[in-house]
Structure 1
Amino acid sequence: MKNVLFLIIAFVFITSCSTLSRKRDQPTPLNPLEAVQDSPKLVVGIVVDQMRYDYLSRFYHRYSEDGFKRLMKGGFQLTNNHYNFVPTYTAPGHASIYTGTSPMNHGIIGNNWYDKFEDKVIYNAGDDQVIGVGTTSDEGRMSPRRMLTTTITDQLELQTQGRAKVIGISIKDRGAILPAGHAADAAYWFEGSDQGNFISSSFYMDQLPQWVTDFNALKKAEEYLKTWNTLYPIETYTASGSDLNDFEKAPKGKQAAVFPYDLNKLKAENGNYSLIKATPYGNSIVADFAIEALKKEEMGKDSIADFLAVSFSSTDYIGHQYGVNSIEIEDTYLRLDQDIARFLKALDEEVGKGNYTVFLTADHGAVNNPAYLQSRNINAGYFDRSDFRNKLNNALIEKYGFDDLISNISNDQIFFNKVNLIKNTINPIDLEHFIASTIIDYTSIDKVYTRKALVSGAMQDGIGTLIQNGFHHKRSGDVIYVLEPAVISYSKTGSTHGSSQSYDTHVPLLFYGNGINQGSSSKRTEIIDIAPTISSLLKISFPNAATGNPISEVLIKS
């Protein structure tokens, strides 16, 4: 009898540790979401890192009917959706999608930024108060603590008294953590190098659920270290440039950035499992993991709405390395189309058609390679930050007699050394004016904004408004400069992003599923409108600093 009782207790214990579903074991009194029968059982947020809007149209004829086209044809498409702030980077993008507001409020002003109070550059999700779970490296020391406002996912947890299940998944830590928010059950990201595992942090849990440990034990990452060749005959990739060109960067150990790529052969010189991040298989392993989370955590199985936030980040790594016009990018999106198709199929099977809602967008776009644009007689160029710093230092020496007035220049922002300003009785407003009037004459600088101008009133021009929306009064710098269109501070190969130009701000926005109309609109929408729209669908409070508005034409009127 004792043996039987022991086995029963052991089984219950193991089952309780295998998932995050313990919250569902509690008595669950009726809550508002249970009373709304037409609400989705699961919301799925998909963010595709560095996805320009035109990737939907450029590759449309090659997409299957079950991936991007299913969302476009069966749901609602916003064709004029933009970021309403600068800088257009991964962390501010993800934070703004889920908070419904811009960096001026949520405080994520970059992927990294100079902290004037700590006098050092900090990482948006870095947190020394936590430790990694599933890893012993610093890659697990992450949390959303630096995000100052709530997310749509936080609001769902608050509305349901913590009974909703919220999980964030991505290759990148910030792509999982910021969407999942502060109150999430879990956020998982991929650790490359010699590990090839999905990990988390003690901010969320003390140990990985058993299903995550089991997934890692499958060594999926090992399976994806194979040859990457084009999905279809390479001559059919007519939406892209030639395979061999001067505008792409080959992986270490390969002379030219041309197909095929033998990943197993290249891994030793390219970070071992980290190499997967810069291939389409990084998206595939995220899809694998998201489907496993969907099944093992039984998401969308009851009347309390859950939220699964998935970010596909390999598109960004590939875009940076090979560029907007590369066959590598085209092939990546054709393969991502297949991954999205099988993810949607899993949602159909596990949650049921009509029981879930999906939105798909991007955290930013990307510029076409300036050297390539120059070869086509289009204005473009490169900005030398080191040369800029030297010129500015010389100007400060000539004006003030010394140059130690600047603490940091990063993210196109200039931070003053306030201690030295006080020591030398230099008025910061005067210094702002001097630097602004000086650097506006430098080659490739198009516009300059001072702290005084940004905090004293609303900007009148479009780019000024974007700068102001991305300016956090406490965290941002003292002078901000804007480069000319298609001018970047980057290598001569690949693509980058971060600007206020339309190639960086214009991104896809698709809604699909429960509560969503079919159709499309070319009316301008902004990225901060997504969270209020989903909040309206779920009939819950907006995130606490939301400044966006629900897109009413997307939602079926109840």
Structure 2
Amino acid sequence: MRSILPPLALAGALAFASPALAQEPEGQVDAQREPQAAPRLIVALSVDQFSSDLFDQYRAHFSKGLARLQTGVVFPQGYQSHAATETCPGHSTLLTGVHPARTGIPANSWYEPGLARTDKEVYCVEDESDPKSTPDKPVVSPKHLLAPTLGDLLKRRDPRTINAAVSVKDRAAVMMSGHDTDAVYWFGESTGGYTTFAGRKLGKAARETNVEVARQIAAGAGDMAVPGWCAPFDRATRIKDFTIGTYRFAMDKGDEEGVSETPRGDLASTALAIRLVDELGMGRDDVPDVLSVSYSATDKVGHDYGTAGVEMCITMNTLDVAIGQLFDALDARGIDYEVVLSADHGGFDAPERQQQRGNPEAGRIDPALEGDALAEAVTARTGIRVSKGKLLYGGGESGSVWFSAELDAAQKAKVSEALIALLKANPQVVGAFSEAEVMAHPMPKGHPQDWSMLDKVRASFVPGRSGEVQMLTRRGIVPGTAKPKKVASHGSPWDYDRRVPMLFWRAGMAGFEQPNPVETVDIAPTLAATVDLTVPEGTWDGTCLDIDGSERNSCS
């Protein structure tokens, strides 16, 4: 840790109970200043479930942090190119520069049927070898991430680099920061605040933020502010015996989820990130540091209430305010920083509301595609059963199907053949591939919007972790049964889940918008160029993007 300068007042950045409504747009700070050869701080922002569709829908209303980013370099056609568009694999691409097939993260969780514990599911950031760990209450570890992050590589070059991350979600913070970290914080369930790896102590920044979080949880809160421009989204949609579209995030006293599951969590993460900058002395010398902040509320709200109601409108406004608070704090400290913002995946609205708004193809997944139903059908066709556990794991929402460890090679082949035939016969399925078929396919190249279904699967397939059979459902099919606070999802191979914005900003940058399709794996090599980091050929799957906006090429 470096010497710490006296922290400046955090002012409104820590008032995360209910943000003021965004007002007039902010211009670039010191827009005419010539940037230094390399920024002192890389600020990597991820907005969970922030599709390009959502960005396009709301971008005209942003007037704080997201407005500033739009004065930089905007790639509205960014892609999480792979098929498994979930939080953990998506975050694993952002600062490693490689697809999930190389990060080792094929999903949020996977099954290891031969695992020596009752629960065969493995969470992407758990140490399943620890007897205290379960998928629901994991002992958090980066052990499954097989590729180095930008922060890892910079610390390898110079150990003085500071690599820190903050998120409400553990998997987001861990995937963006990597293995060699100075501070990693996420909101711990039942802890009432931010926590970190077992064996690490909470620093001053986390402790102070947790005091504020605890105070807010104890006090409760009323409705969050609703901008006037949200009026068109403030309409109820009935789903079974409940409605969505009008909730304003009022929080009862003692309701921890009133912070962790709402836009208040984004404001709390911003407050912690600002304090971390001061505590660790980030951006204070000539060695570039990396601060990763993953904003989780968009995903929480998207799952709970869908993407097209007043709930998401409030979330977008709060996100804009939160990012603006972070930028204002960095400006006040005189730090030369470069920002990238992208997302781990997109999202799809509740199919019931989609159907009301001109999309008759939207629907929910056929229960026959769930793991237990598929296993029963396969047994009926093949006669194959197992003595312990399940014949098949996964299916349904996961898109992967894993086989029992009891099966020998001949039985696996027979089960695979029967399963793929069943899947292809289901009208909701557009693709079903065996592991052998996936692994025989070359890693995809070219523009990601042109990739085939098999290309997308190959980019996120990890042997030994991905299921033996991969299932892809047709456009508009949402996993899961609708119930309160679970109405929508993501994870499909379709562009509403794959397409995400990629925004770069630095004071003095000549901004432009480039509609050419790019990939999130391009982010790490692009940032590496700005901090003069040289890596061996083959380190990245992505390529450096020229973000200079002049005759000079920022990649050379």
State TM-score, norm by structure 2. Answer: 0.83
Structure that is richer in helix per residue: 1
Question: What is the Cα deviation at residue 313 of structure 1?
Answer: 0.5
Given candidates 101, 104, 109, the residue that maps to 1:104 is 101
| Match status 1:444 vs 2:438 | no
Matched to 1:415, the amino acid is W
> Residue 22 and residue 122 in structure 1: after superposition, are their counterparts in 2 closer, same or farther (change >3 A)?
farther
Given candidates 463, 468, 480, the residue that maps to 2:453 is 463
| Match status 1:547 vs 2:541 | yes
- Deviations along 1:21-59, one digit per CA (max 9) or x if unpaired, are 3799xxxxxxxxxxx951000000000011111222212
Given candidates 207, 212, 215, the residue that maps to 2:201 is 207
Aligned 1:117-132 pairs, distance under 5 A: 117-118=114-115, 120-127=120-127
Question: What is the Cα deviation at residue 511 of structure 1?
Answer: 0.3
Worse-superposed segment, 386-395 or 492-501: 386-395
Question: What is the Cα deviation at residue 243 of structure 1?
Answer: 2.9
Question: What is the Cα deviation at residue 114 of structure 1?
Answer: 0.6
Residue 283 of structure 1 aligns to a residue whose secondary structure is helix
Residue 165 of structure 2 aligns to a residue whose secondary structure is strand
Aligned 1:380-399 pairs, distance under 5 A: 380-385=362-367, 388-389=370-371, 392-399=374-381
Contact kept, 8 Å, 1:90 with 1:111, in 2: the verdict is yes
> Residue 363 and residue 260 in structure 1: after superposition, are their counterparts in 2 closer, same or farther (change >3 A)?
closer
Contact kept, 8 Å, 2:217 with 2:259, in 1: the verdict is no
What CA distance in whole angstroms lies between the structure 2 residues aligned with 1:245 and 1:351? 47
What CA distance in whole angstroms lies between the structure 1 residues aligned with 2:306 and 2:381? 42
Q: Identity percentage over the alignment?
A: 25
What CA distance in whole angstroms lies between the structure 1 residues aligned with 2:137 and 2:374? 36
Residue 303 of structure 1 aligns to a residue whose secondary structure is coil
Aligned 1:32-431 pairs, distance under 5 A: 38-64=37-63, 66-73=64-71, 75-118=72-115, 120-127=120-127, 141-160=139-158, 162-193=159-190, 195-202=191-198, 206-218=200-212, 219=214, 221-222=216-217, 225-233=220-228, 236-240=229-233, 242-247=234-239, 258-264=246-252, 267=254, 272-352=255-335, 355-375=336-356, 376-385=358-367, 388-389=370-371, 392-404=374-386, 406-410=391-395, 411-422=398-409, 425-426=410-411, 428-431=412-415
> Residue 465 and residue 517 in structure 1: after superposition, are their counterparts in 2 closer, same or farther (change >3 A)?
farther
Residue 263 of structure 1 aligns to a residue whose secondary structure is coil
Matched to 1:417, the amino acid is S
The 4+ residue runs of structure 1 with deviation greater than 6 A are 129-132
Residue 318 of structure 1 aligns to a residue whose secondary structure is helix
Contact kept, 8 Å, 2:434 with 2:470, in 1: the verdict is yes
> Residue 391 and residue 284 in structure 1: after superposition, are their counterparts in 2 closer, same or farther (change >3 A)?
closer
Residue 167 of structure 1 aligns to a residue whose secondary structure is strand
What CA distance in whole angstroms lies between the structure 2 residues aligned with 1:550 and 1:248? 48
Name structure 2 gaps, 5 residues minimum.
6-34, 445-450
What CA distance in whole angstroms lies between the structure 1 residues aligned with 2:322 and 2:425? 48
What CA distance in whole angstroms lies between the structure 1 residues aligned with 2:144 and 2:221? 38
What CA distance in whole angstroms lies between the structure 2 residues aligned with 1:23 and 1:437? 63
Question: What is the Cα deviation at residue 70 of structure 1?
Answer: 0.8
Structure 2 match to 1:522: 515
Question: What is the Cα deviation at residue 256 of structure 1?
Answer: 7.0
> Residue 71 and residue 215 in structure 1: after superposition, are their counterparts in 2 closer, same or farther (change >3 A)?
same
State TM-score, norm by structure 1. Answer: 0.83
Contact kept, 8 Å, 1:406 with 1:416, in 2: the verdict is yes
Residue 419 of structure 1 aligns to a residue whose secondary structure is coil
Matched to 1:499, the amino acid is S
> Residue 347 and residue 319 in structure 1: after superposition, are their counterparts in 2 closer, same or farther (change >3 A)?
same
- Deviations along 1:363-395, one digit per CA (max 9) or x if unpaired, are 111012112222335212111345644553344
Residue 500 of structure 1 aligns to a residue whose secondary structure is coil
* Count of aligned pairs between the two proteins: 501
Question: What is the Cα deviation at residue 220 of structure 1?
Answer: 5.2
User: In terms of Rg, which structure is larger?
Assistant: 1
